[in-house]
Amino acid sequence: MNKKKIVLAYSGGLDTSVIVKWLQKNKFEVITFTADIGQGEEVIFAKHKAKKMNVKRIYIKNLKNEFIKNYIFPYLRSSIEYENFYLLGTALSRPLISKELMKISYYEKTNYVAHGSTGKGNDQIRFELGFKYFNPNINIIAPWRVWDINTRDKLLNFCIENNININKKTKKFSIDKNIFHNSYEGGDLENIFFEPEENMWENTLSNQISIDYPIYFTLTFKNGDLIKLNNNFYNIEELYLKLNKLGSISGIGRIDIIENRYIGIKSRGCYESPGATIIMFARKHLEDLVLDKKIFDLKKKISYDYSLLVYNGYWWSPERIMLQNIIDYTQKYVNGVIKLKIYKGVITIINRFSNNSLYNSKNSSFNEISEKFSQFDSSGFININSLRIII
């Protein structure tokens, strides 16, 4: 009897390794897919671990460039964080992983796919909306929603019983890494009074041990996207990594927040996004310079809805694509150079320049007389706008 083939989104971590063995015990031929989106050596470890568990078909694909170009940069053009703080690093990676996994499913002619997300989190929604977008008839296996391995002790016992290698240095929280950010959730972090130890943070230095001198640099943007660092062109991956490094050694981009999950549960997340934090800061100041007030205000409203769609897993939805097109239209003005200083966790703007600048010192100065603006006109403006208040 032929086994049913299934493609698993595989990280190489404890959870998805247990899922490999669990699926095999349930008569599936497991095919693993690991997306290389900047998690470093974990990709190599995932391959070796899958081989040790007798996985015959192992797919690994370098998606870093596509991740930056087609997911990170389009999101950054929105200039908004989810619930004021979160830069959506995990949410952005899931639609890309879903798309590539479904390509493998199509190539391998499988009717089943699987993921390692829990029934309490957002990722189950993000993955499965992506799977269904590319194949509405696909059968999805989400082990965390159906098996009886519902505690960490049971998970570890399953590993012992099935000879699954356990990393003795496994930390007491969940880590998700990519080139955009690191996220830390669960375990000790579920206690909101728990202060993470400094060695938890892998991609930023604390203000106490970050470098003792400020770093000055310029960022050049074209149509809203970063294209140069210090007036030098780099390939998109190298550019992003250099900015990540600058932010990391200067203590930029570390947050510890309570967020609202789509399913209604509040959760605690600790995130590091050094490069993205710098880009977002610079972009906002450039948009302040070049966008008309009405466009600026409307874009801000649209971007709020956009951030909800991305966070909640609707990357492939028609409404997200529609809002993306509106946001992208505004970016034809977002061209220029921003000079920044970073030091001990603080980003400071030094100056800004754009050929599309709408700033005119004569219009705003108290010491200049503008040819296009008369202060006497303000009386009429106020009188008209006060009508609905005084009538």
Binding-site positions for L-citrulline: 86, 122, 126, 174, 183, 259, 271
Which listed residue (77, 79, 94, 307) is catalytic? Answer: 94
Comparing CA positions, the residue from 295, 287, 273 lying closest to residue 204 is: 273
The answer to whether residue 288 is catalytic is: no
The answer to whether residue 377 is catalytic is: no
The answer to whether residue 174 is catalytic is: yes
Give the whole-angstrom CA distance, residue 310 versus residue 295: 22
Which listed residue (57, 174, 288, 305) is catalytic? Answer: 174
Which listed residue (77, 78, 117, 123) is catalytic? Answer: 123
Spatial neighbors of 60 by CB under 8 A, at least 6 apart, are 33, 34, 35, 36, 43, 46, 47
Do the beta carbons of residue 369 and residue 361 sit within 8 Å? Answer: no
Bridge partners of residue 82, in order along the sequence: 86
Comparing CA positions, the residue from 188, 238, 249, 191 lying closest to residue 215 is: 249
Give the whole-angstrom CA distance, residue 114 versus residue 221: 39
Residue ranges of the annotated binding site are: 9-17, 35, 86, 116, 118, 122-123, 126, 174, 183, 259, 271
In the 3-class helix/strand/coil scheme, how is the chain assigned residue by residue? CCCEEEEEECCCCHHHHHHHHHHHHCCEEEEEEEEECCCCCHHHHHHHHHHHCCCCEEEEEECHHHHHHHHHHHHHCCCCCECCCECCHHHHHHHHHHHHHHHHHHHHCCCEEECCCCCCCCHHHHHHHHHHHHCCCCEEECHHHCCCCCCHHHHHHHHHHCCCCCCCCCCCCEEEECCCCEEEECHHHHCCCCCCCHHHCCCCCCCCCCCCCCEEEEEEEECCEEEEECCEECCHHHHHHHHHHHHHHCCCCEEEEEEECCCCCEEEEEEECHHHHHHHHHHHHHHHHHCCHHHHHHHHHHHHHHHHHHHHCCCCCHHHHHHHHHHHHHHHHCCEEEEEEEECCEEEEEEEECCCCCCCHHHHCCCCCCCCCCCCHHHHHHHHHCHHHHC
The answer to whether residue 225 is catalytic is: no
Residue ranges of the annotated binding site for L-aspartate are: 118, 122-123
Where in the sequence numbering do the catalytic residues fall? 15, 94, 123, 174
